[in-house]
Chain A
Amino acid sequence: MNLDTKARYSESHEWVRKEGSVIVCGISDHAQQELSDVVYVELPEVGRRLARGEVFGVVESVKAASDLYMPMGGEITAANEKLPSSPEWVNQEPYGQGWMIKFKPADPAEWDSLMSAEDYERSVSGA
């Protein structure tokens, strides 16, 4: 399992990373492995305000369809427009070009309640 050590992780397997004043968000390498081949991604429109835990999109694989949850509350500033036509990026580079949304956090302190890469690794390995 690959991890981005600069990122923080949610229990529902989204990662977030700071990029200036905005937060970039995607799903973890572990999540993409569990889903297997991703065939479709639905992302929110820019400008939507979503609370922490709210559904921001859907990821669909050949095996399952899962909702995507906001790890922190905020206003969507960008969605990866190329992702719906290249959903395989989620499998190939979950922390790179497979990113999903950028948002301006409503409460930057929510970052601190998310798991570090180390904690996340421990939680998914069941240790």
Chain B
Amino acid sequence: MPYIPHTPADQQAMLEAIGVSAVADLFQDVPASHRFPELHLPPAASELEILDELYGLALKNSSTGCYATFLGAGAYNHFVPSVIPYLASRGEFVTAYTPYQPEVSQGTLQAIFEYQTMIAGLTGMDVVNASHYDGATAMAEAAIMAVNVARRQRTKILISPSVHPQYRQTLRTYLSAGQAAVAGDENLRSTLADLTGMLDGDAACLIVQNPNFFGELMDVAGLADAVHAAGALLVVVANPIISLGMLKPPGDYGADIVVAEGQPLGLGLNLGGPYLGVFAAREAYVRKMPGRLVGETTDTQGRRAFVLTLTPREQHIRREKATSNICTNQGLMALMAGMYLATMGRQGLRAVAGLCYHRAHYAAAEIDKLKGYRVVSRAPFFNEFAVQCPRPVADVNHALREKNIMGGYDLQADYPHATNQMLVCVTEMNPRAQIDRLVAGLASA
């Protein structure tokens, strides 16, 4: 029996209130021929037959295991130690919902607390929330938070054009109701100096990505001072987050809010999702911070315990005045990121970052020697760099795919002036032999 709480009389009253006579009238925008179409489904098949068909379909897919992969641009192919999927798939972690009841959720709460603590160390920030959907939404939430820190008296978000193009799109979608205006990336060649020149009394924050979308390290010396002098906040997108294994944490150069995509921390590529939005801030702004926050306390018997804290920021208490109305966190993904950081430790993370850096620099040096190719990036870079190709990137990538190599990201789609430029990404998953194959593949592409 379906559970429908409304009686026929209730339904009639609702229909009358909106001025239609029958439920079917609500669907009149759907052409009649599409409302109950003949589906022409084949007869029911057995489980064995279905599995056979699905395996056949699955074989048409490719995965990173079949290719030497040099594609990054926001999603990164890193090693996932087997301990992570093993532990994360334990039954105790299966429920993903918010741990409102601390008396039955100590394990989940402790895991989130440890995730927050490790991310705080990695970013050099004071407080970290329990996570957002992904790096792009975390960045958009940071912009809204900056407007709220300025008590909505400042409504301009300055963003560098070297922030991930999809993140910039997400920001505009978030702000499409007009809460704030986005500026700074109208000119895709704007430099940091151009952006700091745009700081004024209306600017709530300046958002930069470091390393930027092209993999280059930004010259952040003095940046925070310039931003703060204008009364704005500095938001840093710390992508790829693995870079923090060897780079200075953004907290050290004056960031007020740090966001990142947490996918590289043990999550795998997951066909594009679920991912993990990392969000960290200075303690002074904690009450303007969106998302859930787990804190450490003691129970009635003085034992260490964990609870959700500072919840008046959230919508179940403040409704429309909440700091954010997206309060779901990526609990399971944050758990896995926490496990990854705990597994790798300080030395392990540093080693991964070092492998990415050195292998990328080897690849860049070799590619730069090729006739017709040139490394465009002039600034120091982490594990991604732009390469000028002799032909359209799509053609080069097509030739590489024939050799089981997944080439880099075509920059021209987002940056029209980057004609025939490919963003190459190298991680610890690309041993020297793979890089040599890429170089040979490019030479003959």
Contacts and interface: CB of A to CB of B under 8 A. Distances in A.
Interface of A: 40, 42, 44, 60, 64-65, 67
Interface in B53-77: none
Nearest to A64: B317
A42 B287 contact: yes
Contacts of B287: 40, 42, 60
Nearest to A65: B312
Given A40-B287, A42-B287, A67 B312 contact: no
Nearest to A39: B312
A65 B288 CA distance: 13
Nearest to B322: A65
B348 to A, nearest CB: 40
Give the interface size class of chain B: under 10
Contacts of A60: 287, 312
B318 interface: yes
Contacts of A40: 287, 312
Main DSSP-derived SS at the B contact region: helix
A113 B321 CA distance: 28
Interface string B261-294: 0000000000000000000000000010000000
A44 B151 CA distance: 9
Contacts of B151: 44
Given A40-B287, A42-B287, A60-B312, A67 B317 contact: no
Interface string B414-434: 000000000000000000000
A45 to B, nearest CB: 8
A19 B28 CA distance: 66
A64 B317 CA distance: 7
Contacts of A42: 287
Nearest to B321: A67
5 smallest CB-CB distances across A and B, nearest first, come from A65-B312, A60-B312, A65-B318, A65-B317, A64-B317
A37 to B, nearest CB: 12
Nearest to A44: B151
Interface in B279-338: 287, 312, 317-318, 321
B271 to A, nearest CB: 40
